[in-house]
A and B are shown apart, each in its own frame.
Chain A
Amino acid sequence: MTGRLAGIVLAAALTAAGTWLVGWWAVIAVAAAWQLLSREGPAWRAAVAAPLGWGLLLALIPLAPLGRLTERLAGVLRLPAWALVLLVLGYASLLGWSTARVVGAFTHSGVRGSSSRR
């Protein structure tokens, strides 16, 4: 249990650092790499780690300008402010989960393919 949690925290930290350095692709890269390394680990871990990483980046923004931006940007997009934050985190979560799941499926079929050839 502690190991899983540590893995999620580590993946979240990597997602945050990767996003800071190379951009949003880091979500895909970290989720895919994690899935490859951990083989058949459940994809939901990526679905949790990615928004945690992005949430961490949001939390590092000074609160007052973040609040003003959220309110005004939500108005531009015609969303409630909370829905905008949810959109960001949900996007990261869905991107992480779907990447992990797809990579997992390929990994799984690849393992099976190798087995059958033997």
Chain B
Amino acid sequence: MMRRRLGDALAGAILLGLLALSIRRTGPLPALGPFLDPANGVWSVARQAELPPSADGRIPGLRGPVRVRYDVRGVPHIFAASETDAIRALGYVVARDRLLQMELQWRAGAGRLAEFAGRALLPIDREARQLGLADAADRRIASLAPDSRGRHLLEAFSDGVNAWIDQLGPRDLPLEYHLLGRRPARWAPVSSLYLLGRMGWTLALSDLEENHEAARALVGEAAADALYPVNSPIQEPIQPNGQRAPREDFRPLPPPGRAEVAAGRPAHPREHLPALLAGLGNDAGRSLDALGSNNWAVAPARTRDGHALLAGDPHLELSLPSIWYEAHLVVPDSLDVYGVTIPGAPGITIGFTRDLAWTFTNAEADVLDRYEEVVNDSVAPTRYRVDGRWRPLRLVPQSFRDAAGALVAVDTMRYTHRGPLSRDGSGRWQSMRWTVLESGDELEAFARAARARTAPAWLDSIAAYRAPAQNMLVVDRAGTIAIRTTGRFPLRPGSGRGDLVQRGDTSASDWTGDWPVATLPQAINPLQGYLASANQQPVDPRVDARYLGANWYTPARALRINELLRADSAVTPDAMRRYQTDPGSPLADRLVPAFLHAARRFPARDSLQRAAALLAQWDRRYTRENQRAVLYEEAIRQLAPLLWDELRSAPAGLSAPATPGTAIVLQLLRDSSSRWWDDRRTADVVEDRDAILADALVRALVQVVHRHGDPDAGGWRWEKIRHANIYHLLRLRSLSALDVPVQGGMSTLNPSSGDGSFGPSWRMVVELGPEVRGWGIYPGGQSGNPASSRYLDRLDTWSEGRLDSLFVPKTADEFGARSRSELHLEPVR
């Protein structure tokens, strides 16, 4: 009897324990009951993994039936009777495949991640709010006229997303909602604007002022200006400058000067971002060489088949699911556009129609200025002074809640007439003016552009686009190729420079206007027969010396694209594809000889001679099988601290400045005895160029042997070393694609550096012949469901540098064997 009672008591305890675990979260564990439930819990994710052969849905507001046919690649082709119906359907199908991603992205832009995933994300939320992104989006939507096309598009998209969300039962939720124990929030029209603001954060948040201040504090004004110059010393501009080769404008670098006292440390949001979520403001692993993008176009005269060709290749953070979603929208006699959209945006971002194709690279222009303000209270100011008068600050209370809805923090955002005001660590108050916070009607511009029939008409349609500024490349069926650096570029008073902190107490510091569209860097049908951009300085300062930015990317990718296109007068679509993963490196072509030359100066150093011999074996191509790129890359890595020792220490109240660009190193190579070469840590020796290069090379060999073994033992193969790492949005490793081998490296057209989490996000080639033909690929797949065959199905193709042929039907009846699934959407009656 006693034994039985003990057994009963044990069963009771187990039952109570199980019930406790079953109905509520315990630490990171979701509530076990609803989670493990094989019908309604996490296992239902597998049931929803594949598209059914046929499905039906209803969307409020739909004016007529919409037919959606998915092709074998999982791309939805939406056939609707009106543009707004097509956008409603787009919202529905994107939510069907990418709901979690959409929710994370809008929350990241709105500063409301903690409400979804817990208070650990509070720092990211604070950053988003401090940047003013949510406030800007709220004001933007309030300013849209009720009958404006932009508002109609936002509302139509929202209708579609919510139609999907509203019919979701527990067994329809994406995996991550089960893990987090959350339900999706409904979509609001402003959610799309939050998300687009988030893109502005990624693409247009610069730190030029902070960098310049830190450098000036360490090495003086003249040196700071030279290390982070307004004009790139290598000119291969986007707007052709009439030269048939890059123009090098190398000048002697002024020696490190006396440190200047810095007033304090400007606030910079990025340094506070915790490494919590990929793609949500975390810049860990971000490398300048892997960010940025490429695009180029070739006029019919230089293509084999006589049709204009376009290649697009935006480089962004790689994530699973991908930042892009492929879709095709067809409205008879009105719209027929194929391309990729950012999940959450009501339209196609990059793509093509039957008449033209377009793509972007980031302009990297300076569209953010900081102003040091005089305020009435150093702790909680309510006013700021301009031209001797106090003006009231606009105060916007902020509250932050956790996933349980509890209030976890409050704050007050302050705004001057310029933008958000924040205080840095040394107590200075700075306001920020940023074009991203004053964006225009980009959605309407995109919608109009998708209906354009010619490249010039497309450029006219998109002229209202303001931020984030892009190098917009377009080609049409008539053979026109055109590019324009499009966006809002401020006109500044005085020197016009925006890379220095400005005085806030005078209105004379304020922007005086914007560059007129007609004066933006641009070109149409240039004599050279092609156009290319890769985030380089867009216009040669000899052509137009106005300030557009500073500390530009070293134009390595631009050099290589131009080199390839100059050499090929019969370009084919396949050549365009090959160029996208071309392994050549113009920087290695310039730097390897410098290392080898340095080694010859010290013939008695055995380790140096061995390293040089190994480096000389490299063909300077980042092919997967090469076994010497690793030595070169390590030598470059070792060179930085030896060469830039003057910049290593952070002055009081400042963070250390960024490593100067490779173009500056190339500039310095011309001056073998520049004082920059001296390593000041060796007090009794004055090193010159060759001594430092030799030292870097020897150190590199030691490091590479230590990490990867002997040179010919196989461990130096590039494919074993250089990988893309494509993380799931929640950084869950088992849902990520890690250690994916790639062809490419630092500064190649297929860039890969840092931790490999940035890179080519959507490669596209389009031929504008009698019938448009398109090819494309992104890493990942259309579905955000990790149980789906469409989650990772494109990864191998992407990794190998191949492209999928894109199916672009004119009608819903052309599919044949290409049909994978069909969705019928009807209005709610």
Contact = CB atoms under 8 A, between A and B. Distances in A.
Interface of A: 16, 19-20, 23-25, 43, 54, 57-58, 61-62, 64-66, 68-69, 71-76, 87-88, 91-92, 94-95, 97-99, 101-102, 104-105
A69 B46 contact: yes
A91 B32 contact: yes
A43 B14 CA distance: 14
B411 interface: no
A66 B22 contact: no
A98 B12 CA distance: 7
A65 B49 contact: yes
Given A58-B43, A101-B8, A68 B786 contact: yes
Contact of A24 (B15, B22, B47, B791): B22
A25 to B, nearest CB: 7
B7 to A, nearest CB: 7
Interface in B38-52: 38-43, 45-47, 49-50
Given A68-B788, A102-B8, 11 more contacts: A20-B39, A24-B33, A24-B34, A24-B37, A61-B46, A62-B47, A62-B49, A69-B45, A69-B46, A72-B734, A76-B734
Contacts of A75: 732-735
Contacts of B478: none
A19 B787 contact: no
Contacts of B735: 72, 75-76
Contact of A61 (B12, B32, B43): B43
B640 interface: no
Q: Which DSSP category, helix, strand, loop or mixed, fits chain B's interface?
A: helix
A98 to B, nearest CB: 4
10 closest Cβ pairs, A-B complex = A75-B734, A101-B11, A65-B49, A69-B787, A105-B8, A98-B15, A57-B38, A24-B33, A65-B46, A24-B37
Nearest to A59: B38
Contacts of B41: 24
A57 B50 contact: no
Interface string B213-230: 000000000000000000
A91 to B, nearest CB: 5
B320 to A, nearest CB: 11
Contacts of B786: 68-69, 72
B179 interface: yes
A27 B12 CA distance: 16
A75 to B, nearest CB: 2
Contacts of B39: 16, 19-20, 23, 57
Interface in B708-726: none
A105 B12 contact: yes
B37 A87 contact: no
Interface residues of B, number: 37
Nearest to A17: B39
Contacts of A62: 46-47, 49-50
Nearest to A87: B36
Contacts, number: 113
Contact of A68 (B15, B32, B40, B49): B49
Contacts of B5: 105
Contact of B12 (A72, A88, A102): A102
Contacts of B733: 75
Contacts of A58: 38, 43
B46 A98 contact: no
A82 B42 CA distance: 16
B449 interface: no
A102 B789 contact: no
Residue among A58, A62, A88 with the highest chain B CB neighbour number at 10 A: A88
22 contacts: A19-B38, A23-B33, A23-B39, A24-B33, A24-B40, A24-B41, A43-B11, A57-B39, A58-B43, A64-B789, A68-B786, A68-B789, A69-B787, A72-B786, A73-B734, A76-B179, A97-B11, A98-B18, A101-B12, A101-B15, A104-B8, A105-B8
Contacts of A88: 36, 38, 43
A73 B18 contact: no
Interface string B169-188: 01000010001000000000
A101 B36 CA distance: 22
Contacts of B12: 98, 101-102, 105
B283 to A, nearest CB: 25
Contacts of A101: 7-8, 11-12, 15
A105 to B, nearest CB: 4
A110 to B, nearest CB: 13
A23 to B, nearest CB: 5
Residue among B38, B42, B50 with the highest chain A CB neighbour number at 10 A: B38
Nearest to B17: A98
A88 B8 CA distance: 23
Nearest to A43: B11
B398 to A, nearest CB: 33
B11 A73 contact: no
Contacts of B37: 19, 23-24
